[in-house]
Structure 1
């Protein structure tokens, strides 16, 4: 038996369906700076793309199935949160999103704005083409 649980060594894939991979790509590549690290077409009726970076212990996967409309995000509180402890990195990430044409939106939970306003001082929330949201948080995650 190992000293630590096997999941502590795992690479994480976060996967979800989308009605249009093409509509999502600019948000995650030009905006957030992910690279396409893999893709497939026509696998049992599914197409997919994996986004990430070779050095990351996670990646995102988006799939679409012809003729199947998965709709938009179920709520405005479905979030991916990226904690950026370095203020310059956070500023660069926010500016990259804005330069790519994505404006921040008011977070459903005001905590993620940092001060309860769009363009908060601690967090910025951005919404992708499917209505799923990403928070860029200025600060590290604390237990």
Structure 2
């Protein structure tokens, strides 16, 4: 029996900008991409060998709104301080600015950034569980 895979999928207005944020900023890889698949373009990012990935799509002729709230979060647990610091530095080098989290819990051991679509990414310098 094969392991389940989690795909988080969401639309964007700018595939290149969001792909850069997740690859150059967070160190993910482009796992796949497609153009004009039934009116959609897309890019899939993640890490090879992991049971999860994120798909961003753009439907031709459609504009999507920014994130609906500041509590739409993607949380990445990075327990090694040097790995966490490197991720923060990569995002800041791309021009991302840390913002105060809506939930102060995330500011204790992490930093929160907004991706190009306004969705928030928490880099948590802690282990999960």
TM-score exceeds 0.5:
yes
Task: Tell me the SS of whatever aligns to 1:59.
Answer: strand
Q: Which runs of 5+ in 1 are unaligned?
A: 115-121
Normalising by structure 2, we get a TM-score of: 0.93
Q: Which runs of 5+ in 2 are unaligned?
A: none
Distance of 1:35 and 1:102 partners within structure 2 = 19
Structure 1 residue 55: deviation in Å?
2.5
Aligned ranges for residues 1-143 of structure 1 at < 5 Å? 9-114=3-108, 122-142=109-129
In the comparison of the two structures, how many residue pairs are matched?
Answer: 129
Please, what TM-score do these two structures have when normalized by structure 1? 0.84
Q: Of the two, which has the highest radius of gyration?
A: 1
Q: Distance in 2 between matches of 1:126 and 1:132?
A: 8
Secondary structure of the 2:76 match is strand
SS at match of 2:102: coil
C-alpha distance in structure 1 between counterparts of 2:66 and 2:15, whole Å: 13
Q: Which shows bigger deviation, 124-133 or 102-111?
A: 102-111
What is the root-mean-square deviation in Å for CA atoms of aligned residues?
Answer: 1.5
